[in-house]
Structure 1
Amino acid sequence: MSSQESGREKETIELDEARLQGQAEIWRYMFSFADSMALKSAVELRIADIIHSHGVAITLSQIASCINGSLTSPDITTLARIMRLLVRRKIFTVHHPSDGGDPLYDLTHSSRWLLHDSEQTLAPMILMENHPWLIAPWHCFSQCVKECGIAFKKAHGREIWDLASGNPEFNKLFNDGLACTSKVVTSAILSGYKQGLSSIESLVDVGGGIGGLISEIVKAYPHIKGVNFDLPHVVLAAPAYNGIFHVGGDMFHAIPNANAVIMKWVLHDWGDEDCIKILRNCRKAIPRGNGKVIIVEVVVKAEGSGVFDDLGFIFDLLMIAHSSGGKERTEVEWKKILEEGGFSRYKIIDIPALPSIIEAYPDDQ
Structure 2
Amino acid sequence: MHAGFGVTKSQRKRREEKGREMEEEWLVQGQALIWEHILAFATSMALKCVVELGIADIIEQNRGPMTLHQMVAQLPTPSPDLHCLRRIMRVLVHKRVFAQHQPTGNSGEPTFGLTPASRWLVKGGELTLAPMVLMYTHLSFMASWHCFSRCVMEGGVAFEKAHAGVDLWGYCSRDPGFGKLFNSAMACNTKLVTKAIIKEYKDGFRQVSSLVDVGGGVGTAIGGIVKAYPHITGINLDLPHVVETAPDYEGVTHVGGDMFAEIPKADAVFMKWILHDWDDENCLKILKQCRKAIPEETGKLVIVDAVLQPNEEGAWADTRMIFDLAMMAHTSGGRERTEMEWKNLLEEGGFNRYNIISLPSLPSLIEAFPN
- TM-score, normalising length: structure 1: 0.94
Equivalent of 2:320, from 296, 312, 319? 312
1:217 aligns with 2:225: yes
Equivalent of 2:337, from 307, 313, 329? 329
CA distance in 2, matches of 1:49, 1:78: 19
Equivalent of 1:52, from 60, 63, 73? 60
Task: Report the RMSD for the aligned CA atoms in angstroms.
Answer: 1.7
Structure 1 counterpart SS, 2:351: coil
Corresponding residue for residue 29 of structure 2 = 21
Number of aligned residue pairs: 361
Is the CA contact 1:125–1:181 (under 8 Å) kept in the aligned structure 2?
A: yes
1:261 aligns with 2:235: no
Relative to structure 1, is the Cα distance of residues 46 and 237 closer, same or farther in structure 2, using a 3 angstrom cutoff? closer
Is the CA contact 1:209–1:234 (under 8 Å) kept in the aligned structure 2?
A: yes
1:129 aligns with 2:136: yes
Deviates more, 1:39-48 or 1:11-20: 11-20
Structure 1 counterpart SS, 2:204: helix
Provide Cα deviations, 1:128-177, integer angstroms capped at 9, x if missing partner. 11111111111111111111122112112122222221222222222222
CA distance in 2, matches of 1:19, 1:361: 53
1:94 aligns with 2:100: yes
Is the CA contact 2:187–2:217 (under 8 Å) kept in the aligned structure 1?
A: no
Corresponding residue for residue 155 of structure 1 = 162
Structure 1 counterpart SS, 2:205: helix
Equivalent of 1:117, from 113, 124, 131? 124
CA distance in 1, matches of 2:324, 2:109: 44
Structure 2 counterpart SS, 1:50: helix
Deviation of 1:96 (Å): 0.8
CA distance in 2, matches of 1:51, 1:205: 37
Deviation of 1:236 (Å): 4.1
Relative to structure 1, is the Cα distance of residues 155 and 107 closer, same or farther in structure 2, using a 3 angstrom cutoff? same
Corresponding residue for residue 152 of structure 2 = 145
Deviation of 1:238 (Å): 3.2
Corresponding residue for residue 110 of structure 2 = 103
Relative to structure 1, is the Cα distance of residues 53 and 346 closer, same or farther in structure 2, using a 3 angstrom cutoff? same
Deviates more, 1:16-25 or 1:297-306: 297-306
Corresponding residue for residue 3 of structure 2 = none
Pairing 1:196-207 to 2, within 5 Å after superposition: 196-207=204-215
CA distance in 2, matches of 1:246, 1:36: 35
List 4+ stretches of structure 1 deviating above 4 A.
3-7
Is the CA contact 1:294–1:357 (under 8 Å) kept in the aligned structure 2?
A: yes
1:177 aligns with 2:181: no
Is the CA contact 2:183–2:218 (under 8 Å) kept in the aligned structure 1?
A: no
Deviates more, 1:47-56 or 1:189-198: 189-198
CA distance in 1, matches of 2:264, 2:152: 39
Is the CA contact 1:301–1:312 (under 8 Å) kept in the aligned structure 2?
A: no
Is the CA contact 2:284–2:348 (under 8 Å) kept in the aligned structure 1?
A: yes
Is the CA contact 1:137–1:155 (under 8 Å) kept in the aligned structure 2?
A: yes
Deviation of 1:4 (Å): 4.9
Q: Match of 1:149, as an amino acid?
A: G
Deviation of 1:244 (Å): 1.8
- TM-score, normalising length: structure 2: 0.93
Corresponding residue for residue 37 of structure 1 = 45
Deviation of 1:231 (Å): 3.0
CA distance in 2, matches of 1:129, 1:231: 22
Relative to structure 1, is the Cα distance of residues 324 and 191 closer, same or farther in structure 2, using a 3 angstrom cutoff? same
Identity %: 53
Structure 1 counterpart SS, 2:295: coil
Gaps of 5+ in 2: 1-6
Corresponding residue for residue 282 of structure 1 = 290
Corresponding residue for residue 189 of structure 1 = 197
Is the CA contact 1:203–1:224 (under 8 Å) kept in the aligned structure 2?
A: yes
Provide Cα deviations, 1:168-195, integer angstroms capped at 9, x if missing partner. 2222222222221122212221222112
1:80 aligns with 2:76: no
Deviates more, 1:187-196 or 1:107-116: 187-196
Deviation of 1:233 (Å): 4.1
Deviation of 1:277 (Å): 1.6
Provide Cα deviations, 1:99-118, integer angstroms capped at 9, x if missing partner. 12210111000000000111
CA distance in 2, matches of 1:130, 1:232: 27
CA distance in 2, matches of 1:198, 1:5: 75
Relative to structure 1, is the Cα distance of residues 166 and 94 closer, same or farther in structure 2, using a 3 angstrom cutoff? same
CA distance in 2, matches of 1:187, 1:261: 18
Gaps of 5+ in 1: none
Provide Cα deviations, 1:288-324, integer angstroms capped at 9, x if missing partner. 2332110000112231112112111111111121112
